[in-house]
């Protein structure tokens, strides 16, 4: 697994807003050599083993630096947050 690259603070803050408002999101993310998509409500954003994750109500956990888009919004690849 590659070293975690922190995501943009603005994106992280928006994830927390969607979590608190229980907004259904469509998440597109990198998984191994493919791109996958899931839809659901984010129930948690957390840190585990020095990497940040989101958890959908389905139980799916996605590492934040693997996110490509949420609700068709391209996520910036800026690296200005740290653990």
Tokens of 73: 């919004």
27/29 Cα distance (integer angstroms): 6
Q: Name the pLDDT band for 2 (thresholds 50, 70, 90).
A: confident
Instruction: Kindly write down the DSSP assignment for every residue of the chain, as one continuous string.
Output: -PPP-PPPHHHHHHHHHHHHHT-EEEEEEEETTEEEEEEEEEEEEEEETTEEEEEETTS-EEEGGGEEEETTEEPP-------
Q: Check residue 9 and give its pLDDT.
A: 86
Q: Check residue 76 and give its pLDDT.
A: 62
Query: Residue 47, class by beta-carbon neighbours within 10 Å (0-12 exposed, 13-18 middle, 19+ buried)?
Result: exposed
Could you say which architecture CATH assigns to the domain 9-74? Roll (2.30)
**Residue 83, pLDDT above cutoff 50:** no
Q: Check residue 22 and give its pLDDT.
A: 96
The tens digit of pLDDT for each residue in 34-79 reads 999 999 999 999 999 999 999 999 999 999 999 999 988 887 644 4
């Amino acid at each position: 697994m590659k070293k975690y690259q922190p995501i943009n603070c603005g994106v992280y803050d928006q994830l927390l807003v969607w979590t608190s408002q229980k907004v259904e999101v469509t998440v597109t993310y990198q998984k191994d050599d493919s791109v996958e998509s899931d839809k659901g409500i984010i129930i948690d954003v957390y840190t585990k083993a020095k990497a940040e994750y989101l958890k959908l109500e389905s139980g799916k956990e996605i590492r934040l630096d693997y996110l490509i888009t949420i609700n068709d919004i391209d996520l910036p690849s800026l690296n200005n947050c740290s653990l």
